[in-house]
Chain A
Amino acid sequence: MTRRSRLVLFVIVAPVFAALFFLAAQGLPSFGSEFHPYGDRAVEMATGQRATANVVSSVNFDQRAIDTLGEEFILFGSVIGTIVLLRPAPEERETGLRSAGRVLPTTRLAGYLLLPVSVLVGLYVIAHGQLSPGGGFQGGVVLATGWHLLYVAGRYTALRRAASPTVLEIAESVGAAAYAAIGLAGLVIGGAFLVNFLPTGRLNDLLSGGTVPLLNGAVGVAVAAAIVLLLSGFLEQEVVLRQTEEPLAGSSISTEEPLAGSSMVADDAEQR
């Protein structure tokens, strides 16, 4: 189809879709209704038997923990998939990393100051997933942010040495495997896969919710490692693209539009 005919067809079909969706929405309970049978049961289970103050965590990591197992492995599979897709092609094998350029001292200072804060926040968010909004996914992302603060501060090569892709891949695998293993432990101890087999404690205690905090911890490790792996994969592509390719005239990705956000290479280029 030409651009025009594609657009014409869209303009014909989109209103039909909109009308259908409108009619369907009229059949839903009014916005803000009291009709939430599953939700009510989940709240009762979480606050009663399971002693998990954050009901969303109870649903995610206990009542419907199998969903989160799947989700965890979607993350795992996507990271492996991204690594596979971004692996160096034969002609890119020689690409080395450039050393960091000049970083403003204030940037460096800010990076160093914020690092402990973000690590602490990350750990806090992971550890309190059963009590307050947060948990493994959110905290894991915050932890990964800490890593990137060091990156912004210009310590990329040191970082790569400290946390090589191999180490990160192992961490990610261990985190994902731990989730599955806790599920299996439930099968052995409690008789059903992913059963909450630990004592649940008292509502609002730090150690409450049974296996919920454990699963959150496993997810936290996996997510932090996964995000770092993903971002470093894309940042390296940025280097590859800049070093090996002349930007094509008229192409949509040009030097003004870095693919992976601002990276140190981009900063270098501007400062020189």
Chain B
Amino acid sequence: MITLPYLVAGWLFLVGCYGLVTSRNLVHTVACLTVAQSATYVLLLAVGFRAGATAPVFADVPVGTRVVDPVVQALSLTDIVVSATVTAVLLALTVQIYKRHGTVNPDELRALQD
């Protein structure tokens, strides 16, 4: 029973969260969010692994060769694009926050305190 690769995903997620919690710079915050998201890639790909199998591409291996799960790879691909584009929106917000608040330190953003 091997579960270590799955646990890497949990570790990455928590590391990302730690960064989000302690961040002093929104650019760093956004990067930490992508670290937390990379946990999802690791988990999906680990779940889809098949021991001793090759990539699910039949360009140079015959049909019937043992391959790893192609579905999780497709999901990860979608996930990556989502991550990249949401990151762009977040960075755009960060740029504007810098202009309007004069800082990108979350500790100094006080416009929404209740």
Q: How many residues on A have C-beta within 8 angstroms of the other chain's C-beta atoms?
A: 62
Tell me whether A145 is interfacial, beta carbon within 8 Å. no
Cα distance A68–B48 in the bound complex, in angstroms: 20
Which B residues are CB-close (under 8 A) to A7?
Answer: 21-22
**CB–CB B59/A252 < 8 A:** no
Which B residues are CB-close (under 8 A) to A58?
Answer: 70
Q: Measured between C-beta atoms, what is the minimum distance from B94 to chain A in Å?
A: 8
Tell me whether B111 is interfacial, beta carbon within 8 Å. no
Given contacts A3-B22, A39-B72, contact A248 B14 (CB under 8 A): no
User: Which single member of A39, A53, A137, A230 contacts B48 (CB below 8 Å)?
Assistant: A39
User: Which single member of A53, A132, A203, A259 contacts B27 (CB below 8 Å)?
Assistant: A259
Cα distance A3–B106 in the bound complex, in angstroms: 11
From 19 to 73 in chain A, residues with beta carbon under 8 angstroms from any chain B beta carbon are: 21-22, 25-26, 28, 30-34, 36, 38-39, 42-43, 46-47, 53-56, 58-60, 64, 67-68, 71
A-B contact count (CB 8 A): 177
Tell me whether A256 is interfacial, beta carbon within 8 Å. no
**CB–CB B22/A43 < 8 A:** no
Tell me whether B33 is interfacial, beta carbon within 8 Å. no
Q: Measured between C-beta atoms, what is the minimum distance from A133 to chain B in Å?
A: 6
- Chain B residue at minimum C-beta to C-beta distance from A80: B89
**CB–CB A233/B49 < 8 A:** no
Which A residues are CB-close (under 8 A) to B6?
Answer: 25, 28, 31
Q: Measured between C-beta atoms, what is the minimum distance from B66 to chain A in Å?
A: 9
**CB–CB B74/A59 < 8 A:** yes
Give the interface SS of chain B, mostly helix, strand, loop or mixed.
helix
Q: Measured between C-beta atoms, what is the minimum distance from A194 to chain B in Å?
A: 14
Given contacts A78-B85, A81-B92, A203-B63, contact A252 B103 (CB under 8 A): yes
**CB–CB A259/B95 < 8 A:** yes
From 82 to 113 in chain B, residues with beta carbon under 8 angstroms from any chain A beta carbon are: 82, 85-86, 88-89, 91-93, 95-96, 98-99, 102-105, 107
Which B residues are CB-close (under 8 A) to A67?
Answer: 74-75, 78
**CB–CB A43/B67 < 8 A:** yes
Q: Measured between C-beta atoms, what is the minimum distance from B49 to chain A in Å?
A: 5
**CB–CB A132/B59 < 8 A:** yes
Tell me whether A197 is interfacial, beta carbon within 8 Å. no
Given contacts A81-B92, A253-B104, contact A53 B58 (CB under 8 A): yes
Cα distance A89–B107 in the bound complex, in angstroms: 25
Given contacts A7-B22, A36-B48, A64-B74, contact A28 B81 (CB under 8 A): no
**Binary B-proximity of A82-95 (CB < 8 A = 1, otherwise 0):** 10011001000000
**CB–CB B70/A43 < 8 A:** yes
User: Which of A10-18, A151-159, A185-193 forms part of the interface with chain B?
Assistant: A10-18
- Chain A residue at minimum C-beta to C-beta distance from B52: A32
Cα distance A27–B110 in the bound complex, in angstroms: 44
**CB–CB A234/B95 < 8 A:** yes
6 contacts across the A-B interface (CB closer than 8 A): A25-B6, A31-B4, A39-B48, A74-B85, A86-B96, A204-B59
Having A31-B51, A133-B57, A203-B63, one finds 17 other A-B pairs with CB under 8 Å, namely: A18-B14, A25-B7, A31-B6, A38-B71, A39-B71, A43-B70, A47-B63, A54-B58, A59-B70, A60-B77, A67-B78, A74-B82, A75-B85, A79-B85, A82-B92, A251-B102, A252-B25
